């Protein structure tokens, strides 16, 4: 399948319900439906979590790196299924396996998240995600997510 056009922040905002300070995808560099997505997150000192994590040495919390990968995975799922989520669609974490943090992420870093769809069944999706800063792996994990309709 050919790769789709890049998604900018305006297109991302139409797909994801997240907003500041929890929207953690700034741009999609490539997306191949049913296969993989490559997205970026620019990390700046202005992020609210840096005031407390840690004041003397700012480090992005690992759970937020995982959340950023899950948001990229959601964009891949929506494109694969050909759906645009609405107020009645939620996309949840269902599990995280094998999460490993290889290097700290600091202000000024740019995260490149590559998330591949391993399989999907009955609205449950399993992904393999790797986040890098430059050529260095910052985080890797297997993510399971589910898309649900709410009343």
What structural domains and CATH numbers belong to the chain?
9-149 (3.10.129.10)
Give pLDDT tens digits for 47-87: 999 999 999 999 999 999 999 999 999 999 999 999 888 88
Gap between the Cα atoms of 127 and 132, Å rounded: 16
Alpha carbon of 40 to those of 30, 96, 145, 146: distances in Å? 10, 20, 20, 22
Would residue 18 show up in a list of annotated catalytic residues for this protein? Answer: no
Q: Across the chain, what does the average pLDDT equal?
A: 94
Positions of the chain with pLDDT under 50: 4
pTM: 0.94
Q: Which of 10, 18, 53, 56 is catalytic?
A: 53
CB neighbours of residue 123 within 10 Å? 14
Given this model, what pLDDT does residue 4 score? 47
Tokens of 118: 């391993």
């Amino acid at each position: 399948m050919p790769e789709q056009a890049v998604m900018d922040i305006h297109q991302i905002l139409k797909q994801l319900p997240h907003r500041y300070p929890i929207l953690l995808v700034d741009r999609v560099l490539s997306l191949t439906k049913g296969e993989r997505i490559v997205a970026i997150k620019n990390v700046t000192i202005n992020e609210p979590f840096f005031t407390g994590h840690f004041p003397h040495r700012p480090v992005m919390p690992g759970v937020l790196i995982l959340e950023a990968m899950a948001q990229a995975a959601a964009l891949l799922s929506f494109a694969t299924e050909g759906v645009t989520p609405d107020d009645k669609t939620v996309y949840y974490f269902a599990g995280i396996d094998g999460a490993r943090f290889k290097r700290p992420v600091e202000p000024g870093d740019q995260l490149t998240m590559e998330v591949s769809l391993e399989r999907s069944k009955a609205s449950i999706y399993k992904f393999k995600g790797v986040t890098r800063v430059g050529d260095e792996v910052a985080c890797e994990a297997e993510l399971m997510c589910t898309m649900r309709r709410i009343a």
